[in-house]
Chain A
Amino acid sequence: EAGVAQSPRYKIIEKRQSVAFWCNPISGHATLYWYQQILGQGPKLLIQFQNNGVVDDSQLPKDRFSAERLKGVDSTLKIQPAKLEDSAVYLCASSLFPWTTVSGNTIYFGEGSWLTVV
């Protein structure tokens, strides 16, 4: 089956500029996640969608980060204005259900969008 698609793969911007990342989850997956992975660390959940509704955005820096999933399929993550500490890989992931504890409900990750803020 097709995997989680993300674009762009790489982006270099100057601080205070804006950037947007796009994600297309696996077909039929109702749950979509955006993770931030800083070099040398594990992924950290930024926001989780169930269809087009937000179920968890507790770790999203809402003063500069925003995300939407208007039609319950594709999603965009925007950063404006970017800071140096936003340099990271932004991983999109999807799963059939929101509950990872359901047997067989694996979270599948995309290749990631690498952001460098200079």
Chain B
Amino acid sequence: GENVEQHPSTLSVQEGDSAVIKCTYSDSASNYFPWYKQELGKRPQLIIDIRSNVGEKKDQRIAVTLNKTAKHFSLHITETQPEDSAVYFCAASMPPLGGGTSYGKLTFGQGTILTVHP
């Protein structure tokens, strides 16, 4: 099955700096890559996602890039703010295979604790 590795496990930046979190995946069939933000004690919330037919996607201060050849994707946060402090999870899923049980199951990375210091 799919395996997703996420680095770094912790990231500390000063307010206004940029933050980059990287993930690698193992199955070249994966074609959907969401990023979730989870604040302490809260639910994971989708912040941005990318599909394999594009290489980059931006939404205000956040962007995601995808390198299908190298099987890795990254989250970029610019002009970080203290409220960006949270745990960020990447995930990957692949399309259903011939109607079997692989119904686009999300496989998550281990998470990155981002701390933005004022």
Real binding pair? yes
Q: How distant is the Cα of A111 from the Cα of B95 in the complex, in angstroms?
A: 27
Q: How distant is the Cα of A89 from the Cα of B76 in the complex, in angstroms?
A: 28
Residues of A within 8 A of B8 (CB): none
Contact in complex: A55, B101 (CB < 8 Å): yes
Verify if A75 is at the interface (C-beta below 8 Å from B).
no
Stretch of A18-26, A36-44, A78-86 contacting B (4+ beta carbons < 8 Å): A36-44
Verify if B55 is at the interface (C-beta below 8 Å from A).
no
Q: How distant is the Cα of A44 from the Cα of B102 in the complex, in angstroms?
A: 15
Q: Which residue in chain A gives the minimum CB-CB distance to B91?
A: A42
Q: How distant is the Cα of A110 from the Cα of B103 in the complex, in angstroms?
A: 20
Stretch of B11-19, B63-71, B77-85, B107-115 contacting A (4+ beta carbons < 8 Å): B107-115
Contact in complex: A43, B93 (CB < 8 Å): no
Q: Which residue in chain B gives the minimum CB-CB distance to A57?
A: B101
CB distance from B17 to the nearest CB of A (A): 25
Q: How distant is the Cα of A48 from the Cα of B58 in the complex, in angstroms?
A: 30
Q: How distant is the Cα of A45 from the Cα of B110 in the complex, in angstroms?
A: 13
Q: How distant is the Cα of A30 from the Cα of B3 in the complex, in angstroms?
A: 27
Contacts known (A103-B51, A109-B43); A45 close to B105, Cβ less than 8 A: yes
Contact in complex: A42, B110 (CB < 8 Å): yes
Residues of B within 8 A of A56 (CB): 101-103, 105
Residues of A within 8 A of B108 (CB): 42-44
Residues of B within 8 A of A106 (CB): 34, 46, 49
Give chain A's interface residues, CB within 8 Å of chain B.
Answer: 3-4, 31, 40-45, 48, 50, 55-56, 58, 91, 98-103, 106-112
Question: Can you name 13 extra interface pairs (CB under 8 A) apart from A42-B109, A91-B44, A100-B32?
Answer: A3-B43, A42-B6, A42-B108, A45-B105, A48-B105, A56-B105, A58-B101, A101-B94, A101-B95, A107-B46, A108-B46, A109-B45, A110-B43
Closest 10 CB pairs of A and B: A42-B108, A100-B104, A98-B103, A109-B43, A99-B104, A100-B93, A101-B32, A56-B101, A101-B95, A109-B44
A-B contact pairs, 8 of them (CB 8 A): A41-B111, A42-B108, A45-B106, A91-B43, A98-B103, A101-B95, A108-B46, A110-B43
